[in-house]
Amino acid sequence: MTLVAARGLTVRYGGVAALTGVDFEIGAGEIVTLVGPNGSGKSTLLRAVLGAVRPTAGVVTRRPGLRIGYVPQKLAIDDRMPLTVRRFLSLPDRHGTTEVAAMLGRVGAAGLETRQLIALSGGQFQRVLLARALLGAPELLILDEATQGLDQPGTAAFYQLIADLRRETGAAVLMVSHDLHVVMSATDRVLCLNGHVCCQGQPHVVTAAPEYRALFGHGTHGTMALYQHEHDHAHEGCGHGAAAGSEAHPHAHGAKPEAADA
């Protein structure tokens, strides 16, 4: 079942196009990752999906009553408003004390209820944002570089939690992430964005596509190979990647993508 669909989505900010003619949809329980360089419209697509930005052209349709949990890239909380973690987690919907405590424990932020939001560290704040998104029992979880400020174990635990949640609740996940190696192993579909949809498909298909390589270089692919070991895949799944079918497909199986990243 489709949760959100965009057709011909175009968003302009003061005459500058952030997205042009994007077709996109996400179904129940699907994990979709957006990749692309800075300024490629990833955050804009997320914000259009959740309804925070109005399309200049095209339409975005959300399933009526869809519950969305959103973890923004950044949230400017300043000193003028006193706000405890507990109060923040109940905006806009109230949640019980035990429910809040359990969720904070789950995201690794146990016991922060009475702390002021502005007094949190970057990593704690990120976890609290995730807790808030999850408390609404979302059918679609939207994560915009949600692991910012988390250390490496924290990042790994974060993606594990997302995978667990999908299994438990069947929530779909739409995320922007720069943790390419982790993301590629945990995602159903990758959408490569650069103002328009460059290519999309299963991770191993996208990373082999010339459009993707043009943006990220071949080095990234070496990193992918640490996680993907199928040798007999076809490439026709990708939008305009027809030419990729005949491409040689180097695999690096070493512990490091060695010189390939240079």
Partner 1 sequence: MLDDFLVRAALAGIAVALAAGPLGAFVVWRRMAYFGEATAHAAILGVAIALGFSISIFAGTLGAALAMALAVTSLSGRGLAMDTALGVAAHAALAVGLVSVSFLSGVRVDLSAYLFGDILAVGRTDLAVIWAGALAVLALIGWRWTALLTVTVSEDLAAASGIDPGRERLILTVALALVVAVAIQVVGALLIVAMLIVPAAAARPWARTPEAMALIASGIGAAAALAGLWGSYQFDTPAGPSIVVAASCAFAIGLAAPRRG
Binding site for partner 1 (CB under 8 A): 14, 47, 50-52, 68-70, 72, 75, 77, 80-84, 87-88, 91-93, 116, 132, 136, 142
Nearer to partner 1, 72 or 108 (CB): 72
Nearer to partner 1, 72 or 241 (CB): 72
Nearer to partner 1, 14 or 153 (CB): 14
Most distant CA pair in the chain, distance: 60
Closest separation in Å from C-beta 79 to partner 1? 8
Closest separation in Å from C-beta 136 to partner 1? 7
Dihedral, 202, 206, 209, 210 alpha carbons, nearest 10: 170
Closest separation in Å from C-beta 82 to partner 1? 5
Nearer to partner 1, 1 or 76 (CB): 76
Nearer to partner 1, 80 or 229 (CB): 80
Contact of 12 with 56, CB cutoff 8 Å? yes
Report the alpha-carbon distance of residue 261 to residue 223 in Å, rounded.
8
Q: Which of helix, strand or coil describes residue 158?
A: helix
Element (H, E) at 206: helix 203-208
Closest separation in Å from C-beta 128 to partner 1? 12
Report the alpha-carbon distance of residue 238 to residue 218 in Å, rounded.
17
Give the burial class of 82: count Cβ atoms within 10 A of its Cβ; 0-12 exposed, 13-18 middle, 19 or more buried. Answer: exposed
Closest separation in Å from C-beta 73 to partner 1? 9
Report the alpha-carbon distance of residue 48 to residue 9 in Å, rounded.
9
